[in-house]
Amino acid sequence: MTVHRQQFVIVLRCPEQKGIVAAVTGYLSENELTIAESGQYNDPLTDTFFMRVVFQPTDGRDHDIETIRAGFASIATRFAMDWELHNLGARPRILIAVSKFGHCLFDLLHRWRSGLLPVEICGVVSNHDDMRSFVEWNGLPYHHFPVTKETKDEQESKIIALIDELQIDLVVLARYMQILSPRLCAHLSGRCINIHHSFLPSFKGAKPYHQAHARGVKMIGATAHYVTTDLDEGPIIAQDTRHVTHAYTAEEFVALGQEVECTVLARAVKWRVENRVISNGTKTVVFA
């Protein structure tokens, strides 16, 4: 028998000061809410405190999230918190963007269909039509918005309209090979993740795996990061690497690189939708 249990999560950051943890845990205890998971971190460089707390009712009844939010507001004000409260039972609405490389898209949709990625995928947008049959076979809408240098503003306006219409919580660039304009970056601030086909910061630009191969590197990797107006320099969420040797061909670099891209992007998306990622200036705090 499956037992239904509500779960909520509070994520916060604020200036480090005495009594934060006691105030948060005390509020939960006083309201018949028990902690299921908790993480804290104090950044010594900025003296900023970060906290993520997953909690659930202990009194056998469902709790209203707005009541919890209203009750916690006075604590947040007292400690000057930048905070969010979420119901972990609610599935974030995701839009995936892709171009001609499908490996990350295939992996995300497989994880979603298998129940490993707790999201609601609302569709896929692309500047090419190559992935349409696969996406529609999965029962998802496919939005083909071709783009040229002359039509980029118009194409991005369509993307923005689609994001707003579908009430998208997170856009995932699954090897979407277009540079987003400052306008689109601003519209998606804090809610757009990109997978970079390299272990940043190195080998930027075209054919990074071939660059790495030509340099004789012994390790390749991938980086998932938030999208900002600084190309490929947004706050990093997840990274991973694979060891290689002199015997690998450039094509083997590509295959291995695509494997790690899938892993890193899926990990970053999952952490983000589980509210494990908190921005910290040019960096992130990840309670993984």
Question: How far apart are alpha carbons 125 and 178 in whole angstroms?
Answer: 12
Nearest by Cα to 130 from 100, 172, 95? 100
Count of Cβ atoms closer than 10 Å to residue 205 Cβ:
8
Catalytic option among 64, 107, 130, 232:
232
Q: What is the CA radius of gyration of the chain?
A: 21
Q: Which residues pair with 285 in a beta bridge?
A: 278
- Give me 199's structure tokens: 């272990």
59 in catalytic set: no
Buried b (16+ CB within 10 A) or exposed e, 41-63: beeeeeebbbbbbbbbbeeeeeb
CA 143, 148, 153, 154 dihedral sign is negative
Q: What is the 3-state secondary structure (H, E, C) of 127-162?
A: CCCCCHHHHHHCCCCEEECCCCCCCHHHHHHHHHHH
Residues 6+ apart with CB under 8 A from 20: 14, 49, 51, 79
Q: Report helix, strand or coil for 12.
A: strand
Q: Report helix, strand or coil for 278.
A: strand
Question: Torsions phi, psi of 54, nearest 5?
Answer: -100, 130
Q: Which amino acid is at 19?
A: G
Which residues are known catalytic residues? 232
